[in-house]
Each structure stands twice: as structure tokens, then as C-alpha cells.
Structure 1
């Protein structure tokens, strides 16, 4: 038996993709003298050795370069953002950045790069295909050089599907030698491409999909057209007393007082009080014609107002005596407002302007240009020239105006509410529409608005309001018919347009809804809340927060704040939302998770599961809690049911 000890070294130097330079040296030692077959006399050497040195060039004439690229695909760096993927605006956006290392991409190779969202149940949602090509490949594709490699950025989006909530974003490129063909898909390339191979196993790029925006509640605000009913209606009755020149005693035989319309007004200015309406106030304005001295006219107008006051008090006192339902003490407490206006210059100028006097322009010009202190004198001079001034203009200015304000009688609200369903024909349109506002019961509202439409079939307000009731009850088809009819009758109703937007939102047509809301806003509608909901759907979270800000303790406001990454504000909003349902507590858990607060995440999640046990299975797969998937406390919580 002999001992053999070999040794040596081998070095390869890559000159190019196809050529290597190699050097090797070998040395072998054996512990006997048998290798060379000879024994050496006195100077014999008992151990044999030998060695050799080689220098050469290797030419690579074959080999599967495609296979090598597939096997080394792990050297390609890929990063997907966001990770986890997130639904936003009903779409899932994907951005992938990648780097191919030097001396990886064969000059004659093509890589078909197709990312796919694969769901837990095997559904596939492919994104767009991107092709990379080597230096010798003509045609479309992103060039990647052999010597330097290359980088790329890939972006795409895919419509959101609820099945994506539990999914993986994966890629398994197909690599093949360029054969001059352009394939429609990676599948075709794998089947028909020259030496085509697919990366196996698939490479996971990201988890999918966060879908928190889909928690938005359908709390759209419907608009009700105004009922036009006045809880308090003040009615004015007027009369005028005319006086002789420079006097304040009432002479009923003056031509103006004997004029039928004036006489009737003087007799009837308290008829509303005689109907039992409550008196609100009385105001009297005394006037004088402007031809007299100003100080005298001021006093004269005051005395005329006082004469009218006596006339009013006499009629009120007499009415109280003759009608038991009138309480005279209300008249004793009434403070009649007297105003002494002095000379009625404006009335004079307007009367002259409206008259048939031939030289009225000259008269007006003289008055306007005269000194303040001389205007009375100018009028007196013109009376001599134009006697029609005294006959037709000045008498109507010597007066006292009586204004009596009363409160129109209103049925008690309880009576209106009852009659709206038992005797609607006895109520006015305004009363009927008002009656519907006195109840929160949708069925009662439906009955009242239906009664209105039977009596007033073209009342667009009743159509709009009944549609609002149907929307609140989820009756989309009924609401649509009513809104279309209302819009045809009055296309300028911002309430109708708002409700059409609500209907569109309820069926998921947010594009049309936004158009309707913009039209409603242009007509004066307050559409902020509903627009805020559309902002959430579109992924414009900062705008959503702004539009929903007036809602305060509102679930959708809290959701918008959460999605806008304003976690403190979101927590404060959710904490004041009532009632604290399972969804509100669940979103509080998400807010805590996004802030890496494990303790509060588990606390709120536990409360949510307690409120609704079905939450556990949802949370177990929700990518919002991805960081806790392997946490024992989290697993115990979601699997306890």
C-alpha cells in the first residue's frame, strides 16, 4: 500500500462572453519508488513525484444561456410600492422598480415580464406586460445591456375587485431567444418562443390589497324642497287720512276722504283683528305739503299723526266692546309708533313727475336748484302760475298713513299633522308640505307627499321630497321615476339635482353623481358632505376631510382622516361617533395599527369582535394587520371564535 498526495491550482480569466483564458498547475507525490518502475542504487530515491503546467483558451460553443438567465433571476432586484398594495379610487396602483445586474442579460434574449395579482382562491388579475431585450434584439422593448445591466420602473393599475383583499402580487417572467417574433402575451411566448423558459417558482413582490376606503357608509344627505310654510306671517292693512290745508282735524267730506277706495280702507283697516288675529303693532306717519314754512309743517305733520292715532284707538276700543273674543288689554299695551315727517318733498317731486302738467320739467328744475330755505317760497310762487299744483298735487300730500300689522292665524301643528293624513284637501299646499316635516317616520312622510301629488299632480317639490323618502328607504326605482319627473318640471331645482346625485352614488355611479352635485352647487345647493363621500371614493382624501369637516362626529369624516394619515384626528372623530358599532371600533384598531400601537390595536379589535363576532375572520386576513399575522396575541384574538 502506498500514499499518494496530489496538489495544484486552476485559474480561469473571462475575456468575453464566449472566451475564457485558463491556467492550471498539478503536483503529485507518492511514498514509494514504483511509479517510474526503477530502483536507484546507493543514491536511490524511494519517493516518486511528478508535475505539469497548462496554459490555454476555452471557447464556449454552446450552453443554454436562457436557462442560466432563468436560474439566476434571483439576482434581479425588484421592489413593489406600495406594499401592501392599496385600493384607491376603485383602482389598485402598482409601481415596480428593478435592476438587472451586469453580465446577466444575454444579448440575444428577450424577457416577457408580466405581473399578476393572484387571489387566495386562485383568481388571477394580470397587469400589463413589459418586454426587456438584449443588445442584439431589434424591435420593441426596454434595452438591457450585457456589460452594464440596467434599471427600469414599471407602473400600472388594475380595477379593484373584492377578491383581491387576500392576494399576492407575483411575477414569473418568460425568457426566450430572439426569433424575430412579437408575441401578444407571455403565455404565447412560453409556448412558441425559441428555447422559451419560465421562471419557477413565481416571485412574490407584494401583498394585496388594503381596502379600508370601502368601509365608507352610505350616509348621503338627501335634500327636501322647502315647504313655503311660514310659522309666523305678519299681515299689513293700510289706510290714509287726508287733511285740509294747514289743518289737522279730520274732515271726512274732503274729496280724497270721500273717494271710495280710501273710504273703504279707513273703514276696514282692522278687519283682520275682527277675524281674531292678534295685533302686532301700529305705525302712523304724518305728512304735510311742502309749500308751508318748514317748522310749521313739522308740527302740523305731528298733529295729523296724533289725529290718526285717536282714530285708530277709537276703532280698536269699539271692536273690543262689540266682540267678546277680542281682549281690549292688548290694545292698552300696544305702543303706537308715531312719526312726524314734516313736508313731503319726495312725494311732491314724484307727483309732479307723474302729472300731466306741461311745464313739469321746469317746475322740478326750479325746486332742485333753489336754496333749501327758499324752496317753500318757490312753490308758493309757482302755485300762482300753475294752479293745478294746488288742485291736483298738494292735497294728496296732506295726510296721515295708518299701518296695522297683525299675525295671521295658524292652525296648531298637531292639527295640521292630523289633517294631512285624514283631510288633506282642507289644507293648503304649504300646510301639507309643512306637515311632512313634523314627523321622522318615513311611511307617514310617504303618505303625506302622496296626498300632495293627488291634489297637486305637478308639484315638483312633492316629487323631489317623496323621492328623498324613497331613497332613504332604499327604493331606487321609485325614486328615479319621481326625480326624472321633478327635473322635467323644474330643471333648476338644486334639491332635485342633489337627490339625483345621491341616487347615482347609491348605485355606484360616482361620475354622474359628481356632475349632478356640481350642477346643484351652481344653483345654490350645499353639497359638501356628499362631495366629500365622492372624494373618498376617488381617493382624494384631503379634499374629503375638507368637505366633511362640518359633520364633526361622523363615521365618514373619521374614515377620510384615517385615509389621509391624520391618525390623531381620526381617533378623536371615531371616539365621539355614536353608536360605537363594530365598524367604528374596527377602524380605531386600524388607526392604532398604522401607528404601531399593538396594545390599542388588540384592544379595539377585541371590542369590535365582541360587538360583531364576524369581524374576527375579516381581521385575520386584513392586510392592515399584516405586521401582526405571526403575533400569538393577534392570532389568539382572531381565532377565538
Structure 2
């Protein structure tokens, strides 16, 4: 598809130019353009031009400025960066070219790409003079056509859509209810004052609640963790912590029996709670805090630790009053699950009275719907019922964006941001709208404010395709099966992966078939490419005009 142009003139051209005293026309054979055809990358059409001035062409008093031009079939002309060359007798700072020997040079240029430039050729134009006299040198066509596959991201990103603000619905959620019982120094009996504290009351109430709501609450087990503070000998504290465990376990069994629930009890104890001690000291403002922490790091033997700390008489008094009493305790933990509505129950409740569903249940329900119209209806109902929650408004913006209604999408995004000015998905979707129009810098700015957005990697993948960072884009899409993911792999020349991704897309569309055709064409399978291309055009006839000008299929024409 790409042909390298020969840099030397034909024998006839050389003879004509060398025998003529005037500067004549240059031939395409004097130039090699890489790549040829040209190819879009990062919203640009870059090119490297290697050229040759033939022997006895550049007159000693001549100055020639070469300006690349990209000329489209519709008459649009864009100019690239030019370069100036001078003859041997010209006093200047441009590259000097020998009259007798000629010379070689390299130019780099780039053009801003727009969608109306798909059918374009590159020409070199010349502004030349000998002394003060202007010389006419005809423009030369040096590259034919542009491969614009990287620009397909503007279409492929519509398959995965924008960033949906997620629900946090979980039918089964793991929960904990914890109580703390404190003991007096060297004692293991339960005091009534402790059994009346709020955490213990709530612990008992939760056991009763679980018994009353067997369908909505599922008791898994109860944990008991008993502790002794670290002062005193290990043997004594080991017995003391064990007694506290047994006392606490007896109390829990009694309360479970009274509440009418049954479950396993996982009981254990810690004889000397040095870890808890270190955390409390670290969080405290006691006078010798740093010294105590240093002792803990220097000495691993419990008895040595205790002795070193006791030696700090003032510091130990602060520990005895403020830290150690907090460590003489038992933790009672109920591990249970909350059981939410089933999919069918949510659907039935929605039909009966949607107002009795939570916003997360409604947003979850939308994910169960098959058609965009059904999803949109649920989002509208959610926005109506929970008008302070940005998520439904953001998701309505996505629906509008996917349908090509940018005005409505922007209006919903504005409403979402009115509810939450930092809504990350809203910023990501503004970035995608900008990206669709090729406004890469604007898109990047929006996405920088979307750090925690759901599906941000998909959006960043499209951004990196637009920027020409194909390897990074492929990494962004590594957990995605979408048209854009396949496009990134194709542009990164990972054709096997692109083919596999296309085969995994849940809802393949016309662009999916078109990308299949591109992969097949690049692998040299023109029969498969034509079959997929026909399939793509049958799904979306508007692709026919694009395909007609797509140089990826040049070998099929």
C-alpha cells in the first residue's frame, strides 16, 4: 500500500536540468515522504520529507523556500511548516546547497486534521528567486491520501457510552455490630454499669432484631475478643484475659438464648495487648510519648518493655490513668448480613410504587433493563423522586449523549453538577463530549477533574487514542470489551487481541463489524474484510461513504 519514492531524477530529467541555465520543475522522484499514505496521529497528520536537489540545480544566487500543503478533495488547503535553502553565494543562515554536487535535506511537518480532510494529498510548493528575480517552480504531489483510522475513536466511543454514575446496591451486605465492655484492673467480672452502656444495649437490640427479621437479616457468627493490659507478668495476664473471655462468652450465650438466635461463637483472648497499647500511645498527647514509642521499638521482650516504661515515673502515671484502663476490655462483635430485595421484588415494587425504592435500588434497576428507552424511563423516575441525587441526572446525560443529543446531554450534566459540583462522572462526560469534537486539551482538562469517576479508564483510553498514545490506551482498556478497546489494540498492531475483543463485545454494532473489516484487511484477509465491511454498511449505510475513502481497504478496490 505504501511505496517508497526514488530520490534520484530520471536520466532525462537530470540531463534537462543540468543543461538548462534556469531552475526548472522538480519531480516527485526527488522526494520521499514517510509515511505514504499519510496517517493521522493525535489529531495531527505528521510527515517526514527527505528531499534531494539534483546536481547543478540550485543556482549559486538562488533561495528556495519549500512549503508543504495538504489539499483535500473539497478544496480545503492547509499549510505545514516550511524550510528555506540557499545557493552557495547567498549570504544567509539557511541550509546551503552546492550547485555542482546538489544536496540532501530532511523536513518535518504536521497538519491539524479535520474530518473533511479524509481525501487529501500532500504537495510541496516552492517560493524561489535568483537574486532579486522571482522564479516559478511548479508544485509537486509527493504523498497520496491519509489513513484516518485513529480518528475512528470519535465514533467507537459511542458503543461503550459515557460514564454512568453507579448504584451502590448490594443484595447481600456484610455488616458488624460491636460492643465494648471494660474491666477494672486485675478483675474479670462484668459490672452492671458496663452492661448498661450504649454499645452493649445496641448489641443486644441487634440480636433481637435479627430474630424478628429472618428474611432481611442473616446472623453469621459472634466474635469475642478479650484483652488484658500489658503491665504485670505474662502468666498472670494470660489467666486474667482467659477469664475475661469466659465471662464475656457466658454473657453473650445468655443474650443469644434470650433473643432466640443461634450461631457459632468465635472467642479468643490476648494476654498482653501491646498492639493496642502502641496505637493508643501514638494517638495520645502524653508527655513522654516519643520516648515510650522508642522503647516499644527497641525492646521486644514484654518484661523488659514494662520495666523500661515503669522507670519513667511521670510517664507511667499518665499511662496508668489514661491508656491502660482502655485496654482492659472485651469486644463483642455480631457479624451479620442484610438481605435486600431480589431483582423480581425490585421490579414489582417499581411497578407498584417506585417511591418505596431507594435511589440505589432504582439505579440498580436501570442496569437490568435491556433497552435504552427503559433505562431512560427509570432514570427519569429516579431524578423525579430523588432530585438532590446527581447520579440520575448524570446518567440521563449519558443516554442523551449516546443518542447524539449533545444539547440535552449538557443540560443534564449541568443539573448533575448543580447537585454535586464535584461529581466525577459529570466531568468525565464533559471530557467525552469535547473529545468527540477533537478538542483534546479541553477533554484532558475535564478528565483531570474526574479522578474517581466510574468507568474512567474507558474514557482515558479514548483520550489516549486521541493523543496517539496507543500502548497506554490499550492498558486503559485491559478490562474492557468495547469498540474503542479493539481500536486501541488495532492501532497498537495487536491484531489477535483486537479480534478477540471484537468477538467479546456484548452488543456489537456497525462499528464492531467495521473494525472487524479493518483487522482482516491489515492481516491480508481481503475476503473476510469485504464480508465484514458489507455487514457494517448494511447495519449503518452512512459508513459506505467513509469506507469508499478509507485507504485501509485500498487493496480491495
| Same fold, judged at TM 0.5 (above) | yes
1:146-225 aligned within 5 A: 146-171=99-124, 173=126, 175-179=128-132, 193=134, 196-199=135-138, 202-216=139-153, 217-218=156-157, 219-220=159-160, 222-225=162-165
Q: Secondary structure at the match of 1:550?
A: coil
Q: Secondary structure at the match of 1:206?
A: strand
Which of these residues, 86, 93, 102, is aligned with residue 46 of structure 2? 93
1:402-421 aligned within 5 A: 407-408=337-338, 410-420=340-350
Q: Secondary structure at the match of 1:148?
A: coil
Deviation (angstroms), 1:513: 1.7
1:550 aligned residue: 479
Which of these residues, 516, 519, 533, is aligned with residue 608 of structure 1? 533
2:456 aligned residue: 527
Deviation (angstroms), 1:469: 3.7
Aligned residues: 491
Structure 1 residue runs of 5 or longer lacking an equivalent are 1-63, 181-192, 318-329, 352-370, 376-388, 629-633, 636-641
Query: Does the 8 Å CA contact 1:90/1:160 hold for their aligned counterparts?
Result: yes
Query: Does the 8 Å CA contact 2:188/2:240 hold for their aligned counterparts?
Result: no
Query: Does the 8 Å CA contact 1:582/1:607 hold for their aligned counterparts?
Result: no
Which of these residues, 551, 554, 557, is aligned with residue 623 of structure 1? 551
Q: Secondary structure at the match of 1:69?
A: coil
Q: Does 1:304 align with 2:233?
A: no
2:292 aligned residue: none
Q: Secondary structure at the match of 1:415?
A: helix
Query: Does the 8 Å CA contact 1:234/1:407 hold for their aligned counterparts?
Result: yes
1:483-528 alpha-carbon deviations (Å, 9 max, x no partner): 345446545443333233223223432222222333333x586633
Deviation (angstroms), 1:272: 0.8
The 3 A distance-change label for structure 1 pair 422 and 478 is farther
Query: Does the 8 Å CA contact 1:432/1:448 hold for their aligned counterparts?
Result: yes
Choose between structure 1 and 2 for higher RCO, CA contacts under 8 A separated by at least 6 residues.
Answer: 2
1:115-514 aligned within 5 A: 115-137=68-90, 142-171=95-124, 173=126, 175-179=128-132, 193=134, 196-199=135-138, 202-216=139-153, 217-218=156-157, 219-220=159-160, 222-231=162-171, 232=173, 234=175, 236=177, 256=193, 268=205, 270-273=207-210, 275-277=212-214, 278-283=218-223, 297=240, 301=244, 304-305=247-248, 307-308=250-251, 311-312=254-255, 314-317=257-260, 331=262, 334-339=263-268, 407-408=337-338, 410-420=340-350, 422-487=352-417, 490-514=420-444
Deviation (angstroms), 1:82: 1.8
CA distance in 2, matches of 1:410, 1:75: 73
Structure 2 residue runs of 5 or longer lacking an equivalent are 1-16, 281-301, 307-319
Deviation (angstroms), 1:463: 3.6
Query: Does the 8 Å CA contact 1:286/1:341 hold for their aligned counterparts?
Result: yes
CA distance in 1, matches of 2:80, 2:395: 46
Deviation (angstroms), 1:207: 0.7
CA distance in 1, matches of 2:461, 2:277: 59
CA distance in 2, matches of 1:346, 1:607: 65
2:316 aligned residue: none
CA distance in 1, matches of 2:278, 2:483: 65
Query: Does the 8 Å CA contact 1:500/1:513 hold for their aligned counterparts?
Result: yes
1:23-102 aligned within 5 A: 68-71=21-24, 73-74=26-27, 77-102=30-55
Deviation (angstroms), 1:89: 1.9
2:487 aligned residue: 559
Q: With structure 2 as the length reference, what TM-score do the two structures score?
A: 0.69
CA distance in 1, matches of 2:204, 2:497: 68
Query: Does the 8 Å CA contact 1:241/1:308 hold for their aligned counterparts?
Result: no
Query: Does the 8 Å CA contact 2:483/2:511 hold for their aligned counterparts?
Result: no
Query: Does the 8 Å CA contact 2:23/2:59 hold for their aligned counterparts?
Result: no
Q: With structure 1 as the length reference, what TM-score do the two structures score?
A: 0.61
**Greater Rg over alpha carbons, structure:** 1
1:113-162 alpha-carbon deviations (Å, 9 max, x no partner): 44433444554444455444444555676543433333332332222244
Alignment RMSD (CA, Å)? 5.0
Q: Secondary structure at the match of 2:111?
A: strand
